[in-house]
C-alpha cells in the first residue's frame, strides 16, 4: 500500500487480545508511485520499508522530527535517523529548499527582534568546533526536477511568515 502512496494501515483499535486492522480507502498516488519506481529503477533495488514509511509520513505531514517517525518505523532513534540520512544521501528523494544565500546568526537574531517587536537576551559565544561559518540551501535540483520556485526570497519575509504561523499556531502542528 505504501509503495502506491496509500495511507498506512491503522492498528489503533487493537488491544492485548485482538488485532484490528483498518485499511483506509484511497486511490493510488500516481506521482508518489512514479517517484518510487524511478528510484528503484535507478538503484536496481526495492525501496526499504522504513524509507517508504518515512516518505509516506513526510508526504502527509510535511514537517516531522525523528521522534515523530520513531513510532511509525517502530525502530530506535538511531535506526530511524540512519534511514532518514540514507534518504537524503543515497536516494536523493528529499530536496533542499532555500534561496542559495546564507545569513549569519546575528542577522537572523536582529531580524527576529525587528519582526516580532520583542527584545530578548542573546548570549554570544564562540563558534563550536566543527560548526560551519555559513550554511546555505541550494534549491537548483528542486527547481529543475520539481519546477519549485522560492516564494519568500528575503530573510525578513521568511521570518515574518514564520512568526505569523507560530503566532497563529502556538502548539505547532496538531495530529
Q: Which helix (H) or strand (E) holds 168?
A: helix 155-168
Mean pLDDT of all residues belonging to the chain: 80
Nearest to 95 by CA among 138, 134, 49: 138
The residue to which cell 540551501 is assigned: 137
pLDDT digits (tens, 9 = 90+) for 116-136: 999 999 998 888 888 777 778
pLDDT per residue over 131-171, tens digit each?
Answer: 777 778 878 877 877 677 888 888 999 999 999 988 988 88
With CA atoms as reference, report the closest residue to 55 among 11, 22, 92: 92
How far is the C-alpha of 11 from the C-alpha of 8, rounded, in Å?
9
Nearest to 52 by CA among 42, 66, 40, 65: 40
> Was domain 105-168 assigned CATH 3.30.450.20?
no
Q: What is the pLDDT of residue 7?
A: 61
Closest CA to 3 of 47, 43, 69, 39: 47
- Count of positions (residues) in the chain: 175
Is this model's pTM higher than 0.75 or not? no
Domain boundaries, the chain: 2-91, 105-168
Calpha distance 18→21 (Å, rounded): 10
Amino acid at each position: 500500500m505504501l509503495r502506491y502512496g496509500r495511507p498506512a494501515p491503522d492498528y489503533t483499535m487493537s488491544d492485548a487480545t485482538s488485532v484490528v486492522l483498518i485499511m483506509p480507502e484511497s486511490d493510488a498516488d500516481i506521482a508518489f508511485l512514479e517517484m518510487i519506481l524511478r528510484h528503484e529503477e535507478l538503484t536496481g533495488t526495492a525501496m526499504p520499508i522504513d524509507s517508504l514509511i518515512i516518505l509516506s509520513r513526510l508526504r502527509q505531514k510535511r514537517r516531522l522530527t525523528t521522534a515523530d517517525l520513531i513510532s511509525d518505523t517502530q525502530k530506535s532513534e538511531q535506526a530511524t535517523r540512519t534511514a532518514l540520512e540514507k534518504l537524503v544521501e543515497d536516494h536523493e528523494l528529499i530536496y533542499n529548499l532555500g534561496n542559495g544565500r546564507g545569513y549569519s546568526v546575528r542577522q537572523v537574531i536582529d531580524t527576529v527582534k525587528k519582526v516580532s517587536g520583542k527584545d530578548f537576551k542573546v548570549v554570544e559565544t564562540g563558534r563550536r568546533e566543527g560548526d560551519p561559518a555559513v550554511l546555505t540551501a541550494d534549491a537548483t535540483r528542486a527547481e529543475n526536477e520539481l519546477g519549485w520556485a522560492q516564494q519568500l526570497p528575503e530573510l525578513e519575509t521568511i521570518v515574518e511568515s514564520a512568526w505569523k504561523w507560530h503566532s497563529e499556531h502556538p502548539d505547532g502542528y496538531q495530529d
